[in-house]
Amino acid sequence: MATRIKKVLQDKNVATCITVQGWIRTRRDTGSFSFLEVNDGSCLANLQVLAGEKLANYSEEINKLSAGCSVVVTGTLQESPAKGQDVELQADSVQVLGWADPETYPLQKKRHSLEFLRSISHLRPRTNALGAVTRVRSRLSFAVQQFFHTHDFTQIHTPVITTSDCEGAGEMFQVRATGETTDKPFFGLQAGLTVSGQLQAEVYALALGQVYTFGPTFRAENSNTSRHLAEFWMIEPEMAFCDLSCNIEIATDLLKYVLQDVLDNCQEDLKLFDAFIEKGLVEKLKNVVTTDFVHISYTEAVAQLSKVSETFEYAVEWGIDLQSEHERYLTEKLYKCPVIVTDYPSSIKPFYMRVSDDGKTVAAMDILVPGIGEIVGGSQREERLDVLTQRMTDAGIDLKEYDWYLDLRRYGTVPHAGFGLGFERLVQFATGMSNIREVIPFPRTPGSAPC
Ligand code: ATP
Ligand code: MN
């Protein structure tokens, strides 16, 4: 049985015989030895393999190995006399499984730009940076699940295909069966890919109390920004018997929990990002985990932003939707930490957010973080049938289509709340990657859907 290199480097069981399998990163020759740097993706570090000229295939094969070749190595682990690693593998055999022609293999030793790597999305996970992103993303996903399970949430799987387009009419992808006609749609109604699982999550929250959905979400964003994808993953918890402050508490706890988890479990990868992607990343994450988030109302935010209004492209006044430049000013320049903004004007927020006593604002909350802007968007939901019906009518929504949603208020309604956390934005924040295209394996953006 082969051992994963991560385990080899952790256990450092010198004098044992082991087999590893992976890909060559580099080879250099000194005298009667080749030094092979082998990586198997289990961790950032390579295992150094010493292959001596006495090996049967030394001149025919080992001496011709180059970046990208796949090998199986068996040998004895020993202490390394050289700096840079504690252990190395003295090879008894090096079997070559696959060659990688150095004339054509795109990943040569030099550092490649992230833009170039995007053009080879089938090979980029073999680089240090993208391999590290992939491991951190996986760990964050695990930590999210762990947070909810240790806090007694039930996971639900909300549909990818939906016929409710309340929120995302302009941003929806349509779904049609081959040969489907407009007068006889496959699902009876016009269908699309989900823009949010929230409404369905509400159904289950009002039965199971605390639920979450974590799945792919689709928006026909035509903006090509560094923080928007057409296909992304969203974490959407929904809690019955929960108001805005309870909602804020859960969102804050979740962010701190998962970031602490990667600080504990992805140290090697975070160190790489800290050195090459975002200086001070680890310090930033530690601060976020240990310090309180600033909490201000939308009205206060507008007052703060008005004072420096000339720095913005879009003017600030009460009633406007905060633009990314405004959000980033608040979190990066003014407070220099995560900021929770609450109580937005009802006119710029969807019908399901709970109208406050002032009649002008809704119990909404966004969490803004440095480098990204909005990472979480949530609200307490409108639980009063009459207020909700009025809001929907005002918004021109067909009440008949949402009868099931109104039933939730007709029968055993309770205060409830929830939010959406963009998983890729979370991975961006944890890795320091400035472009969202780096943190999902195969990004879908206008004009581009590789592999
Ligand atoms: P933004 O103003 O940045 O477009 P939004 O207000 O449309 O965000 P919500 O509808 O509240 O976002 O969605 C909840 C969360 O999902 C956001 O806070 C963000 O983290 C994430 N998100 C939204 N749209 C995208 C997208 N196109 N790509 C990646 N993540 C997204
Ligand atoms: Mn949006």
pLDDT per residue over 208-234, tens digit each? 999 999 999 999 988 899 999 999 999
318 alpha carbon – ligand 2 mean position (Å):
20
Q: What confidence score (pLDDT) does residue 16 get?
A: 96
Q: How many CB atoms lie within 10 A of CB 77?
A: 22
Who has greater pLDDT, 387 or 189?
387
CB 252 within 8 A of CB 293: yes
169 pLDDT higher than 80: no
In this predicted structure, the answer to whether residue 374 has a pLDDT above a threshold of 70 is yes
Alpha carbon distance 212, 153 (integer Å): 7
What's the mean pLDDT in 419-435?
Answer: 98
Residue 384: pLDDT band by 50, 70, 90 thresholds?
A: very high
Q: Ligand 1 centroid to 297 CA: how many Å? A: 20
Residue 165 has pLDDT above 70, yes or no: no
- Expressed in angstroms and rounded, the spacing between residue 380 Cα and the centre of ligand 2 is 19
From residue 125, alpha-carbon distances to 44, 77, 132, 440 in Å are 12, 27, 8, 11
Residue nearest to atom 1 of ligand 1 (CA): 374
Q: Give the pLDDT confidence score for residue 50 in this predicted structure.
A: 97
Distance between Cα 267 and ligand 1 center (Å): 28
88 pLDDT higher than 80: yes
> What is the structure's pLDDT at 170?
74
Ligand 1 atom nearest 234 alpha carbon: 16
Residue 229 Cβ inside 6 Å of ligand 1? The answer reads: yes
pLDDT tens column, 245-298: 999 999 999 999 999 999 999 999 999 999 999 999 999 999 999 999 999 999
CATH of 124-438, one of 3.40.718.10, 3.30.930.10, 3.40.50.2000, 3.40.50.150: 3.30.930.10
Which residue ranges make up each domain of the chain? 5-109, 124-438
d(CA 143, CA 27): 37
> Which CATH architecture group holds 5-109?
Beta Barrel (2.40)
Side chain identity at residue 220, one-letter code? A
Query: Considering only CA atoms, which residue is closest to atom 4 of ligand 1?
Result: 228
Does the C-beta of 425 come closer than 6 Å to ligand 1? Answer: yes
257 to each of 140, 146, 234, 335, 427, how far by Cα in Å? Answer: 10, 9, 17, 22, 14
| Global pTM value | 0.97
Tell me whether domains 5-109 and 124-438 share a fold: no
Residue 111: predicted pLDDT: 84
